[in-house]
């Protein structure tokens, strides 16, 4: 039927296509105006002196030149790496360990109860999940300080400014979410593990393989799909995420938690430098795009 | 055998301990919401009686407009985005037209464009054509951007439906729109439910776009409202009231969680389908 259809003249096929075009018209119009246009506009205006008010003025590569001489921007890159790499590793490994533990729970009823428990934090708005850490890190009466006092690590009246001390703030942000098992990652790993056929596992048990052996040589190879997924989306999110900065630190103290995405936000919405912000956005886009293409290539060559 | 039983007990203890540590910060806000603000500081680590339910009432009073705004935005935006997505997905799955593959690729490629590139130009665009400080600037981005993943998910679902169902409807003289409404929509209720939950969750959790585009406190949605109202306070905040507000803001999500448990979990985990 398809071949027959392709044999007809283009005019005939276009005429036959009209109903389908009506079906997709709302989508195509909306994404052209509100998705493609901003993307093109962002790259285009990265070559302009573009302010909140007034005409945009073409300035060539000036924004990019300024960016790579801007100490705040240059400093934001290592800050991002220091925040992102540990958090990425944690977010991949900890839920996996938890999923392995849940997988080995013999009672199915307890197992599914624990799974639901893992999801429990998701019923609070995600911003609440970040805001509660403000109270945990309260310098004088927060949970973190109280625990250290209770164990005698610091004096009874000593305070710790977790988010206000430039030497501590990165560590404090990395630690947020401890023990990093809430949310969907555990579920995704666990459903991968439960999908492994029983025969494989039973056969290895009969061969006398230890639990650890079983995990490393059977489980891990069979859930590389999930691990790759967390890795790819973890990197893409980490490159553009600045929620901690918006909610908790405002980039501070000083510039010690500025990441490129947050600097872009500040340039655009605090200083009104839309052009400079677009240049930072374009660079981040290129990095993310390059990374995505690379991973897709790698995946193809593996398959 | 006994050794196995002991290792099971130890495993369960470790798991429970980790889960308790994980949930403790949220549990603290839960019982903190019912405390007297004068005695809060002495008893904040554990739950106490009596429960001061009046906290909830005063917190509700100060954030109820955020909640109603969010519900309004979530309902209209989700309905709009599902309508756009399902129509297009039907065409891509079940109709032949010139340029189909190219157009589908153009839609799906949008998943590769990160928000960080489009945030600033989108702000300028919306400011110029729909203006700031109105509901439309909150609703339109979801109607325009939300369908991309929806098209992806629904298309593969519609493609999987058996051709014979469609044939017989067409033989009966039903046009495409009729086929779409009488066959595709009823059969895809479950996957639509998943998409609905995903959209509602993302609107409930969004704060960056609202704090940029809305200055009028009366129009803010819940996450942005919580951020503006309770995070930049000077002096000692009233913790029980703050925590009550967190609790009130979670109630609609809790209701959703228990009412649509199955879709909820599928919605949460279906981001993994992308790969």
Cross-chain Cβ contact A26/B41 below 8 Å: no
Cross-chain Cβ contact B18/A181 below 8 Å: yes
Tokens of B196: 């609905």
Interchain CB contacts (distance < 8 Å): A and B: 254
pLDDT bracket for residue B275 (50, 70, 90): very low
Q: In chain A, which residues have their Cβ closer than 8 Å to the Cβ of B274?
A: 229
Return the percentage of chain B with pLDDT > 70, whole number. 94
Predicted pLDDT at A119: 86
State the nearest Cα–Cα gap between B141 and chain A, in angstroms: 7
DSSP string spanning A195-224?
A: TS-HHHHHHHHHTT--HHHHIIIIIHHHTH
Cross-chain Cβ contact B11/A104 below 8 Å: yes
Q: Which domains does chain B have, with CATH numbers?
A: 62-274 (1.10.3720.10)
SS3 A135: helix
The residue among A13, A125, A223, A299 with the most chain B CBs within 10 A of its CB, best to mutate, is A125
For range B132-136, the mean pLDDT:
94
| Cβ within 8 Å of A, B 143-162 | 143-145, 147-148, 151
Predicted pLDDT at A5: 64
Length in residues, chain A:
303
Nearest CB neighbour to B91, from listed A20, A33, A106: A20
Per-residue pLDDT tens, chain A, 303 aa: give them: 456 666 678 888 888 888 899 999 999 999 999 999 999 999 999 999 998 777 888 998 999 999 999 999 999 999 999 999 999 999 999 999 999 999 999 898 999 899 889 988 888 999 999 999 988 998 888 899 999 998 888 888 888 999 999 999 999 999 999 899 978 889 889 888 888 877 777 777 777 778 788 888 888 888 888 898 899 889 999 999 999 999 999 888 989 999 999 999 999 999 999 999 999 999 999 999 999 889 888 888 876
Cross-chain Cβ contact B116/A38 below 8 Å: no
Distance CA A196, CA A191 (A): 9
The residue among A7, A22, A123 with the most chain B CBs within 10 A of its CB, best to mutate, is A123
Q: What is the pLDDT of residues A189-213, one digit of tens each?
A: 988 888 887 777 777 777 777 878 8
The residue among A24, A176, A191 with the most chain B CBs within 10 A of its CB, best to mutate, is A24
Predicted pLDDT at B175: 84
Cross-chain Cβ contact A278/B121 below 8 Å: yes
Residue burial A172-182, b: 16+ Cβ < 10 Å; e: rest: bbbbbbebbbb
Predicted pLDDT at B274: 44
The more confident residue out of B143 and B234 is: B143
Are residues A284 and A278 in contact, defined by beta-carbon separation less than 8 angstroms? no
Q: What is the pLDDT of residues A10-24, one digit of tens each?
A: 888 888 888 899 999
Q: Which residue of B has its CA nearest to A110?
A: B12
Q: In chain A, which residues have their Cβ closer than 8 Å to the Cβ of B121?
A: 37-39, 41-42, 45, 274, 278
Nearest CB neighbour to B212, from listed A27, A228, A269: A269
- Mean pLDDT, chain B, whole residue set: 88
Tell me how far CA of residue A67 lies from CA of A64, A71, A72, A256, in angstroms. Answer: 5, 8, 9, 18
Asked if ipTM goes beyond 0.85, one says yes
The residue among A23, A139, A244, A272 with the most chain B CBs within 10 A of its CB, best to mutate, is A23
Does pLDDT of B265 surpass 80? Answer: no
Predicted pLDDT at A100: 92
**Any A CB within 8 A of B205 CB:** yes
Predicted pLDDT at A271: 92
Q: Which domains does chain A have, with CATH numbers?
A: 2-45 (no CATH), 64-302 (1.10.3720.10)
State the nearest Cα–Cα gap between B205 and chain A, in angstroms: 6
């Amino acid at each position: 039927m398809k071949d027959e259809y392709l044999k007809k003249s283009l005019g005939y096929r276009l005429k036959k296509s009209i109903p389908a075009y009506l079906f997709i018209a709302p989508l195509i119009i909306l994404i052209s105006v509100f998705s493609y246009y901003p993307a093109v506009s962002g790259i285009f205006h990265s070559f302009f002196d573009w302010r909140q008010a007034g005409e945009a003025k073409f300035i060539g590569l000036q924004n990019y030149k300024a960016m790579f001489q801007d100490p705040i921007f240059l400093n934001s890159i290592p800050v991002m790496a220091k925040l992102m790499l540990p958090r990425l590793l944690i977010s991949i490994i900890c839920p996996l360990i938890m999923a392995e533990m849940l997988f080995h729970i013999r009672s199915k009823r307890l197992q599914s109860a624990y799974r639901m428990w893992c999801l429990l934090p998701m019923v609070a708005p995600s911003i609440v999940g970040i805001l509660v850490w403000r109270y945990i890190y309260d310098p004088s009466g927060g949970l973190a300080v109280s625990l250290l006092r209770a164990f005698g690590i610091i004096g009874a009246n000593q305070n710790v400014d977790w988010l206000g001390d430039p030497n501590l703030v990165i560590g404090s942000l990395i630690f947020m979410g401890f023990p990093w098992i809430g949310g969907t990652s555990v579920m995704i790993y666990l459903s991968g593990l439960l999908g492994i056929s029983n025969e494989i596992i039973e056969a290895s048990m009969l061969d006398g393989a230890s639990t650890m052996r079983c995990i490393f040589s059977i489980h891990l190879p069979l859930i590389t799909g999930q691990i790759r997924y967390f890795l790819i989306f973890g990197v893409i999110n980490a490159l553009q995420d600045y929620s901690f900065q918006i909610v908790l630190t405002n980039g501070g103290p000083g510039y010690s938690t500025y990441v490129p995405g947050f600097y872009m936000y500040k340039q655009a919405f605090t200083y009104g430098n839309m052009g400079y912000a677009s240049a930072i956005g374009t660079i981040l886009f290129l990095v993310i795009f390059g990374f995505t293409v690379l991973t897709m290539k790698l995946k193809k060559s593996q398959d | 055998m006994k050794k196995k039983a002991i290792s099971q007990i130890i495993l369960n203890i470790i798991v429970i301990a980790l889960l308790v540590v994980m949930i403790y910060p949220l549990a603290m806000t839960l019982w903190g919401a019912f405390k007297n603000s004068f005695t809060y500081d002495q008893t904040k680590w554990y739950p106490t009686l009596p429960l001061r339910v009046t906290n909830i009432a005063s917190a509700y009073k100060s954030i109820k407009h955020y909640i109603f705004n969010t519900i309004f935005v979530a309902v209209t935006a989700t309905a709009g985005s599902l309508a756009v997505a399902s129509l297009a997905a039907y065409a891509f799955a079940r109709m032949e037209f010139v340029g189909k593959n190219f157009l589908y690729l153009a839609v799906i490629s949008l998943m590769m464009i990160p928000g960080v590139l489009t945030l600033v130009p989108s702000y300028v665009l919306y400011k110029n054509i729909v203006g700031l400080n109105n509901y439309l600037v909150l609703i339109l981005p979801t109607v325009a951007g939300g369908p991309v993943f929806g098209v992806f998910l629904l298309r593969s679902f519609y493609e999987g439906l058996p051709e014979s169902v469609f044939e017989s409807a067409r033989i009966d003289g039903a046009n495409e729109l009729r086929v779409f409404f009488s066959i595709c929509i009823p059969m895809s209720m479950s996957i639509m439910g998943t998409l609905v939950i995903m959209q509602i969750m993302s609107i409930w959790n969004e704060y960056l776009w609202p704090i940029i585009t809305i200055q009028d406190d009366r129009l803010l949605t819940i996450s942005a409202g919580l951020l503006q109202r309770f995070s930049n306070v000077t002096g000692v905040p009233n913790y029980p009231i703050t925590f009550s507000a967190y609790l009130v803001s979670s109630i609609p999500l809790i209701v959703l969680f228990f009412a649509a448990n199955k879709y909820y979990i599928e919605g949460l985990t279906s981001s993994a389908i992308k790969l």
